Chains A and B, each alone.
Chain A
């Protein structure tokens, strides 16, 4: 297996852009990533496009806007993990020696299909046919989490306060206005105990990364290549009643353990993490699943401020995360990637995690009562 580097990243802003089709958002991000890398577009040998709701041939229709035609284009889908799955595909196409330069794009325009409310899910699943949306599933996790560990609604709200504080420093974030615990708790109830401010927004964006082999990076005058130390994708296993619905995710724990092992590092070595906080309670469960704290300690660990910017532990979601930077489904994984790359290069501006050398990305796609997630991707990046 060969070492793989990220040599360029680019993103659009996150927000509501109903008049910008996926190929417009996507080509903007891809072009920025190519320019950031300094590589000639002709050197790109394969391009991947992660998305969920954007229809036929989105990758091909996007890349033709910037002259990337002829080379293979693969559209990848793994629910909310589609962007990171695109990164994983690009990584393995180089790591296993098939190509030297690959582009990974993630894109989504949700505004074109949705004015608000929960994401449309597959009605063929019995639970969805009976009324399950993602907010309801996470609300049931939150309900059980509160009962097990005595977590309060204020502690859930504090996750969002932290998220907005971080996003206020992030120029591409969708929600940059700071909020108080009271405002969060008084926002409309979506599914008890989760209020609207504890759910990620509907939004649109694209993000991209250019990856290359070690041999290629040596030939380039790339300013600061970021190394992919570990990159793993795993699907979920069956849920059975012997596990609590609020337990650390087996899918995230297994995927991250494999990534830590590949990278030769552990959770204690991470300077920052971009994780899948689609709902307030998710952040608490994911920090447990990634090994940053023990089972049941996620709420206190987060509430203590140790994972906030300037805290003494791993900084969790300096971008504002899905809750505030935004969660344009297919774009999310590469927005997380770009955030890590900016920090590792020291280019993250006011929200820079000082001296960041190692970071981790975790994206979780979908969830069903029967399965612990559909796709989990974890990547560990370092300089």
Chain B
């Protein structure tokens, strides 16, 4: 994977482990994902980037079988609740969907999610069952 095939790179880091980058309000301490201009809880505009925990709980998921042309179907899609108080949506590799249970622990990985204009896979953050 080369850098030009990755997107939404401002929303994740791969070191020391793969994790998401949220916004954290310096005034009230609450998180949003992604980062907003002003805090929706206290309207402070002093927001810093802050990492989310390595794992979260799977709130719901589906296997998408019809989608927009930029996506190879089928693919999994899930909502994961992180302990910082944010719910994040991302793809889940289709091979993980069978046997997946609600409220199970999930972690972040980087993998192919869509097809670019050049026909090549584009990579970004995804969820997978926690190891």
| B55 CB–A CB distance under 8 Å | no
> When the two chains form the complex, which single residue of A120, A189, A241, A246 contacts B87, counting CB atoms closer than 8 Å?
A241
Taking a contact as CB atoms under 8 Å apart, the answer to whether B66 and A118 are in contact is: yes
B61, B64, B65, B75: the one within 8 Å of A188 (CB): B65
Q: B101: nearest residue on chain A (CB-CB)?
A: A147
Chain A residues positioned under 8 Å from B86 (CB to CB): 240-241
A246 vs B60: C-alpha distance in the bound complex, in angstroms? Answer: 10
Docked complex Cα distance between A144 and B65 (Å): 19
Q: What are the interface flags for A188-218 relative to B under an 8 Å C-beta threshold, 1 for contact and 0 otherwise?
A: 1111110010000000000000000000000
In this complex, the interface size class of chain B, counting residues with CB under 8 Å from chain A, is 35 or more
Question: Are A133 and B89 closer than 8 Å at their CB atoms?
Answer: no
| Selected contact of A191 from candidates B40, B64, B114, CB within 8 Å | B64
Give A224-249 interface residues, CB cut-off 8 Å to B.
Answer: 238-241, 244-246
Q: Is the CB of A131 within 8 A of B65?
A: no
* B-contacting residues, A52-81, CB 8 Å: none
A330 at the interface (CB under 8 A from B): no
Contact A133 B64 (CB under 8 A): yes
Say whether B77 contacts A136, CB under 8 Å: yes
In Å, the complex CA distance between A139 and B77 comes to: 10
Total cross-chain contacts (CB, 8 A): 103
Q: Encode contact with A along B77-105: 1 for CB under 8 Å, 0 otherwise.
A: 11101100111111100000000001000
Whether B29 is near chain A, meaning CB under 8 Å from some CB there, is no
CB of B68 closer than 8 Å to a CB of A:
yes
Residue A310 CB within 8 A of the other chain? no
Chain A residue with Cβ nearest B114? A131
Docked-complex contact A126 and B87, CB < 8 angstroms: no
Nearest CB in chain A to that of B78: its residue: A140
Number of interface residues of A (CB under 8 A): 34
Kindly list chain A residues whose C-beta atoms are within 8 Å of the C-beta of B113.
130-131
Q: Does B44 count as interface, using CB distance less than 8 angstroms?
A: no
Instruction: Say whether B54 faces chain A, with CB atoms less than 8 Å apart.
Output: no
A143 and B34 contact, Cβ closer than 8 Å, known pairs A131-B75, A132-B89, A241-B81: no
Is B37 interfacial (CB 8 A cutoff)? no
- Contact string against A for B residues 3-18, beta-carbon threshold 8 Å, 1 for contact and 0 otherwise: 0000110010000000
Q: A147-B102, A191-B65 are in contact. Are A129 and B7 (CB under 8 A)?
A: yes
Given the complex of chains A and B, what is the CA–CA distance between A369 and B66 in angstroms?
Answer: 19
B79 → chain A closest CB, angstroms: 6
Is A191 in contact with B87, judged by CB distance below 8 angstroms? no
**Does any Cβ of B come within 8 Å of A117's Cβ?**
yes
CB neighbours (8 Å) of B77 from chain A are 130-132, 136, 140, 191
Q: Are A118 and B91 in contact (CB under 8 A)?
A: no
Among A120, A132, A141, A144, max chain B CB count under 10 A is at: A132
Whether A333 is near chain B, meaning CB under 8 Å from some CB there, is no
**Chain A, 108-138, contact with B by CB distance < 8 Å: what is the 0/1 string?**
0000000001101000001101111101100
Bound CA–CA A300/B85 (angstroms) = 32
The interface residues of chain A lying within 8 Å CB-to-CB of B90 are 130
Which residues from A are CB-within-8-Å of B102?
Answer: 143-144, 147
User: Is B64 within 8 A of A369, CB to CB?
Assistant: no
Chain A 150-189, CB-CB to B under 8 Å as 1, else 0, gives 0000000000000000000000000000000000000011
A143–B64 touching, CB < 8 Å: no
Q: Are B60 and A143 in contact (CB under 8 A)?
A: yes
A143 and B71 contact, CB distance less than 8 A: no
Does chain A have a CB within 8 A of B110? no
Chain B residues contacting A188 (CB-CB under 8 Å) are 65-66
Chain B positions near chain A (C-beta within 8 angstroms):
7-8, 11, 32-34, 40, 59-68, 71, 75, 77-79, 81-82, 85-91, 102, 113-114, 124
Q: List 9 A-B contacts (CB under 8 A).
A: A118-B68, A130-B77, A133-B64, A136-B67, A143-B102, A189-B65, A241-B86, A245-B59, A370-B33
Closest 6 CB pairs of A and B: A139-B62, A241-B81, A140-B60, A144-B60, A127-B89, A369-B89
| Additional 17 contacts, C-beta under 8 A, given A131-B113, A135-B66, A370-B32 | A118-B66, A127-B89, A130-B90, A130-B113, A131-B71, A136-B64, A140-B62, A143-B102, A188-B65, A189-B65, A191-B65, A238-B32, A240-B85, A241-B82, A244-B59, A369-B88, A370-B33
